[in-house]
Amino acid sequence: WRGGTSDIYVSRRDGGEKPVVLKTFERRGSGFDENYWRFINEEKFTRGINHPGVIVPEKARSSGYGHMFEQGFIQRGSVGDLLESKGVLSMDVSAGIIKQVLDNLRAVHSSGIIHNDIKPDNLLFDENGRVSLIDFGIAYSATDSERSLKPGVPAGSPGFMAPELKTGAAPSVQSDLYSVGVLFALMSGG
């Protein structure tokens, strides 16, 4: 699969039983572009988060394949897949998902990170049905002294981002919570 900043593969380590996800970035051209820094920041921003509902990529070493991160492979699909197959969800199911998303975000925000891209495809179900948060490619450090996005960095995903982000405001805990509200409305009302 090709993501916004990386190519993504399901793989197995030699002799390993469990599949893993490999995210790769191979430098193209003569310089490091904004996509490279988003790719690197994903690992940097998640490094200090220790929560079972937050999927953290880790550096993987492999010669000849550029920069690579490894993370756990979650096979049960995303909230987006669930919405596509079921349509509107019951209030109980929607509320249960939102409660888990908020718990995951509490760990992220407590680490000084704004996810900045809460949407159905970034929420995966693990083998126990627990919701896991992925994709910190456009995350934002709440402690960044500059407090502005670099040119070319998207402020979030259309339809899920808070209105103030469209006018140039910095991502915040409140803008993540706005996205959670949009997600709840989509799940429970279509």
Q: List, in order, residues 6 or more apart from 91 with CB less than 8 Å away.
A: 188
Measured distance CA(81)–CA(120) in Å, rounded: 8
Of 14, 92, 103, 117, which one is the catalytic site residue? 117
H or E, element range at 84: helix 79-86
Residue 144 annotated in active site: no
Instruction: Tell me how many degrees the CA angle 15-19-25 measures, rounded to the nearest 5.
Output: 105
> How many C-beta atoms surround the C-beta of residue 120 within 10 A?
19
Structure tokens, 104: 């995951």
> How many C-beta atoms surround the C-beta of residue 69 within 10 A?
21
Which residues are tagged catalytic?
Answer: 117
